[in-house]
């Protein structure tokens, strides 16, 4: 193993308690949704993981289907753990998920007991781990009884394959029902993972933030930069190396309308008036809420990680700034 972590890695990161649990998460966590797949540069993956941990980012978030190809992000991160970062395993929070399509047939999707348990077993093999710290059900299942999905999560914890469980992409009402089932089972459900940004206020509208707060659950946010729209990358057009050009799956060119560009320009002006870049303002806007435990960042290079943690030292928002942001977000 050649990697040695920065001795000062815990000096500047902020750690927030995850709801009413005993677990703390870094205010900024690293998501491996993009740029950790089969065709991505492995040396760059390593550098991003090293940079993150050196900055005090202890939480690395994956899912069974991250890639492409599905499973490759777990394989690549597992290799990094095995070859470089294994000595720091007890300092890391590693999460994975199941809920979206992973394999063909009726047993490789959604929320059945068979799928969740089989998926985690496969994830642990790819990661080379005996357990993950957090295992999420990745999305609500309209057909499988909620009790079946929740008892499967409980079985996973009791088997020792996960320390805590989480729910991802649930609304507030369903989260509350699930929380009651897991509470009766004495299962440590501690966290929700949902999309939230200046451009996407769904968790405010569907009650998730309110319900999580009232139930003593943490919230970790993904896509805080709206897949890159809340940055200065698109102010002058669409770069050839942008996510729109590279995949066009999660962020389509049609999303970048003249109206959207006008909004981004106005938000960028607000950020500049605060003395920071738009991405930093967007991250600090999410982190300002007391319900938010952590924000997941994605990165294509180490420098982006270094920049994003600057959100932890952003100035507090004034009421006028928040009102202006609301004006240009809808």
Among residues 97, 91, 101, which one has the least CA distance to residue 31? Answer: 97
CA 189 to chain centre: 17
Per the DSSP assignment, residues forming a β-bridge with 197 are 200
Per the DSSP assignment, residues forming a β-bridge with 16 are 25
Report how far residue 186's alpha carbon sits from residue 162's, in angstroms, rounded to the nearest whole number. Answer: 14
Residue-wise pLDDT tens for the chain (330 aa)?
689 999 999 999 999 999 999 999 999 999 999 999 999 999 999 999 999 999 999 999 999 999 999 999 999 999 999 999 999 999 999 999 999 999 999 999 999 999 999 999 999 999 999 999 999 999 999 999 999 999 999 999 999 999 999 999 999 999 999 999 999 999 999 999 999 999 999 999 999 999 999 999 999 999 999 989 999 988 876 665 555 655 555 666 777 788 889 999 999 999 999 999 999 999 999 999 999 999 999 999 999 999 999 999 999 999 999 999 999 997
Which tokens sit at 10? 């815990």
**Could you give the count of Cα atoms lying within 13 Å of 188 in the half-sphere of its Cβ?**
16
For the chain, the domains span 15-233+276-317
Residue 302: the pLDDT is 98
Distance between first and last Cα of the chain? 49
* Number of neighbouring beta carbons within 10 Å of residue 265: 14
| pTM across the whole model | 0.94
Per the DSSP assignment, residues forming a β-bridge with 137 are 98, 167
Report how far residue 231's alpha carbon sits from residue 224's, in angstroms, rounded to the nearest whole number. Answer: 10
Spell out the residues 6+ positions from residue 317 whose beta carbon is closer than 8 angstroms to its own: 284, 285, 288, 325
Residue 206: the pLDDT is 96
322 torsion bin: left (phi>0), alpha (psi -120 to 50), beta (else)? alpha
Which tokens sit at 265? 């320009």
Among residues 76, 128, 69, 70, which one has the least CA distance to residue 97? Answer: 70
Say whether 195 sits in a helix, a strand or coil. strand
Is the CATH number of domain 15-233+276-317 3.20.20.100?
yes
Among residues 171, 172, 121, 180, which one has the least CA distance to residue 150? Answer: 180
Which tokens sit at 238? 């669409």
């Amino acid at each position: 193993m050649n990697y040695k972590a920065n001795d000062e890695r815990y000096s500047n990161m902020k750690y927030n308690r995850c709801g009413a649990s005993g677990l703390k998460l870094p205010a900024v966590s690293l998501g491996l949704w993009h740029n950790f797949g089969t065709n991505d540069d492995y040396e760059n993956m390593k550098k991003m993981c090293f940079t993150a941990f050196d900055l005090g980012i202890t939480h690395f978030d994956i899912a069974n289907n991250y890639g492409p190809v599905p499973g490759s992000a777990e394989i690549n991160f597992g290799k990094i753990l095995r070859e470089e970062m294994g000595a720091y395993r007890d300092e890391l929070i590693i999460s994975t998920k199941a809920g979206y399509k992973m394999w063909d047939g009726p047993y490789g999707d959604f929320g059945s007991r068979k799928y969740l348990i089989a998926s985690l077993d496969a994830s642990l093999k790819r990661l080379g781990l005996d357990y993950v710290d957090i295992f999420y059900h990745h999305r609500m299942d309209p057909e499988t009884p909620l009790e079946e999905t929740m008892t499967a999560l409980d079985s996973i914890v009791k088997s020792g394959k996960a320390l805590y469980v989480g729910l991802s992409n649930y609304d507030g009402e369903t989260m509350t029902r699930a929380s009651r089932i897991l509470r009766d089972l004495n299962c440590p459900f501690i966290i929700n993972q949902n999309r939230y940004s200046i451009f996407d206020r769904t968790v405010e509208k569907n009650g998730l933030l309110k319900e999580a707060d009232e139930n003593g659950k943490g919230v970790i946010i993904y896509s805080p930069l709206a897949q890159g729209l809340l940055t200065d990358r698109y102010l002058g057009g669409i770069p050839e190396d942008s996510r729109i050009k590279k995949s066009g799956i999660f962020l389509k060119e049609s999303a970048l309308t003249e109206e959207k560009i006008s909004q981004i320009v106005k938000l960028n002006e607000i950020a500049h008036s605060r003395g920071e870049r738009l991405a930093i303002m967007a991250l600090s806007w999410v982190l300002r809420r007391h319900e938010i435990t952590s924000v997941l960042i994605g990165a294509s290079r180490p420098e982006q990680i270094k920049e994003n943690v600057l959100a932890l030292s952003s100035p507090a928002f004034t009421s006028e700034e928040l009102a202006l942001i609301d004006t240009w977000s809808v």
